[in-house]
Structure 1
């Protein structure tokens, strides 16, 4: 089995949140602003972003051109979207 129902629900919600909030700049794990700083596994590892905590921090606080979503998304929503991003990076987008 691919995971628990709770985990699956989080990934489904994470995908919806990603599509609504992140896909404009990060469609398919890419980055339209800084082309080398993608959400793909190799880039996440290179820039020390390949952990759930690092991704959650980036989503909540933002950095450089990326806005902070901490005021727009709940902690649970940030967890869901970060889990989705990490899962997708490990699967090759």
Structure 2
């Protein structure tokens, strides 16, 4: 029985690692679409037309404690200051995908 459980665990791990890059790419593609439809008006090219000190560039995300998918997800969901909340306007999946996209773009330098 233990051998069977270990074998199943190994298969699940292998499948997860094998499929992860495909799922991640699909999420980033969807995140890019969400960004284009909901964010680009204020954040074109990773900038910020409302507050130039709070861009989506990696240095600004780090300086503002926003350099994680969790922090970005919270910001998009709940809004803050001039940024509106997108809870109820975007699905949880949309928000997670756009957060992953923003972080990915920031790490690549927009």
- TM range, normalised to the smaller chain? over 0.9
Task: Tell me whether 1:85 sits opposite 2:108 in the alignment.
Answer: no
Query: What is the TM-score when the length of structure 1 is the normalising length?
Result: 0.96
CA root-mean-square deviation: 0.8
Q: Note the C-alpha offset of 1:74.
A: 0.8
Q: Deviation per CA, 1:27-72: give whole Å up to 9, x if none.
A: 0000000011000000000000001100000000000111000111
Residue 20 (structure 1) aligned to one of 37, 41, 65: 37
Counterpart-to-counterpart distance in 1, 2:67 and 2:78 = 16
- Post-superposition, which runs of at least 4 consecutive aligned residues in structure 1 deviate over 2 A? none
- Consecutive unaligned residues of structure 1, counting only runs of 5 or more, are none
Partner of 2:86: 69
Q: Which runs of 5+ in 2 are unaligned?
A: 1-19
User: TM-score of the superposition, structure 2-length normalised?
Assistant: 0.81
- In structure 1, the partner of 2:56 is 39
The structure with the largest alpha-carbon Rg is: 2
The alignment covers a number of residue pairs equal to 91
